[in-house]
Amino acid sequence: MTNYSTIRNKLLIAILASALPLSITKAAVDKDVLAHSQGWYVGVEGGMPFGFSTFSSFGHDKTHPGWAAGLYGGYRFNHIFSAELSAKYGEVNLSAQDCCVERNYWLGSDGVLYKAGVLGMDSWEYAQLKSHVRMGWYGARLNVNILGLFHKTANSRWEVALSPHLYAVSTKTDIQTIADDAKVLRGSTRWHLGYGADVQVGYQLTSCLKLGIYSGLTRLTGERMDAMPEHLHKNNFVWQSGIRLGINLTKAKKNKNVQQASPTPQPETQQRETTTQENVKQQETVGKAETKAVEPAVAEQPKVTLPVIYFHFNSTAINPKEESKLNDILQMLKENPDMKVAVTGWCDTKGSVAVNKRISRQRAEAVKAWLVKNGIEASRITATGNGSDDSQDADKARRVETKDNNK
């Protein structure tokens, strides 16, 4: 029989070994890489489960950490919400708790609890036994990124998520002796409904790779996972902690708003040919026309069109729905390091002139602050407020325009 501890240790070493080079690579990652806000992803995860039932992973003899590993895949809707499906397999040992050992409980070969050995029947003291549980988790998880709820951390590489989950959990348990792992009772496969939640902390290493840790509880309905008679202890849940490595499948969008104007075609030189040699003056005139240089029309410089950022009434905070436009502006500035821009804020006509002037300036400064926070030098951005704009509807007037300041 394959040694359980050896398999578990090899799995944990493999997971840690795969994560180590990724952690080292983080130092070389481009600082300008941001986490994806939308798209498909897949990943692997592995960790250590601890079981709590009549028997427990924290038994009278020692602590029995288990192992688990699996795959997951999901879709990220925005900075806050993502949903995923997962499948995972693991094993864990549970042994009697101190209170059961002190009461000198026995397990008969009929699966019933006794308070002493039974004559004519094989029986074992609780202190001699452990439950070896093989488990499978198959289900769904909803992730809610707490940092995505706040403007200042919505675009952070870090993610702190609360993840309620619902699983179909299979367990198959053998009762073994602690001394030599001899099986005294063989179990059959049982199915449970598992529900609970995890807390996850993740970090976006690159635009594709994300490394995280998780810890959470899963409550199991139905029969006991340890296959022991129910007595005293009403627990039937698994606590599991581990690491996750995710891969984004959706490529980052690169928005390029530079539109090259078609150069004005150069006029062709009109040539006149004459076969008449009698008119010398006409030939000289034609020759001069042929040799006269025609100046080419100067091609227009590339035009830069940057998106307009709109604001809610009486607000200077960046609307999360407008952040995709800010990312477009950010990408443009990064791709054109010599570009400087003028950021101009506007208001609708409601309110006093002084208040609207102040709010329009604060809106422009909010856009500038967002760009500076994400890696653009402040010296490349000029922020001004123009107050009210009575030429636009109210919703369109509450805006910030960004224009190329080099033109």
Distances in Å between the Cα of 356 and the Cα atoms of 36, 75, 346, 362, 385 are 35, 41, 8, 10, 9
pLDDT tens for 81-97 read 999 999 999 999 999 99
> Which range among 129-133, 203-207, 256-260 shows the weakest confidence by mean pLDDT?
256-260
48 vs 405, higher pLDDT: 48
The DSSP secondary-structure symbol of 56 reads B
Domains of the chain: 29-248 (2.40.160.20), 303-404 (3.30.1330.60)
pLDDT classification of 11: cutoffs 50, 70, 90? low
Mean per-residue pLDDT, 210-214: 97
8 A C-beta contact, residue 387 and residue 360? yes
Q: What is the pLDDT of residue 268?
A: 40
Q: What is the pLDDT of residue 283?
A: 53
What is the full DSSP assignment across 305-334?
Answer: --PPEE--TT--SPPGGGHHHHHHHHHHHH
What is the full DSSP assignment across 120-175?
Answer: TS-EEEGGGEEEEEEEEEEEEEEEEEGGGGSGGGTT-SEEEEEEEEEEEEEEEEEE
pLDDT classification of 260: cutoffs 50, 70, 90? very low
Mean per-residue pLDDT, 34-53: 87
pLDDT classification of 289: cutoffs 50, 70, 90? very low
163: its two tokens = 């993840």
Q: What is the pLDDT of residue 128?
A: 92
Q: Identify the burial level of 339 via C-beta atoms within 10 angstroms of its C-beta, where 0-12 means exposed, 13-18 middle and 19 or more buried.
A: middle
pLDDT tens for 172-193 read 999 999 999 999 999 899 999 9
Reply yes or no on whether the pLDDT at 114 is more than 60. Answer: yes
23 alpha-carbon distance from chain centroid? 17
Reply yes or no on whether the pLDDT at 298 is more than 50. Answer: no
280 vs 353, higher pLDDT: 353
The DSSP secondary-structure symbol of 117 reads -
How many Cβ atoms from other residues are within 10 Å of residue 307's Cβ? 18
Name beta bridge partners: 313.
Answer: none
What pTM value is reported for the model? 0.56
Distances in Å between the Cα of 145 and the Cα atoms of 26, 77, 156, 158, 205 are 22, 11, 11, 10, 17
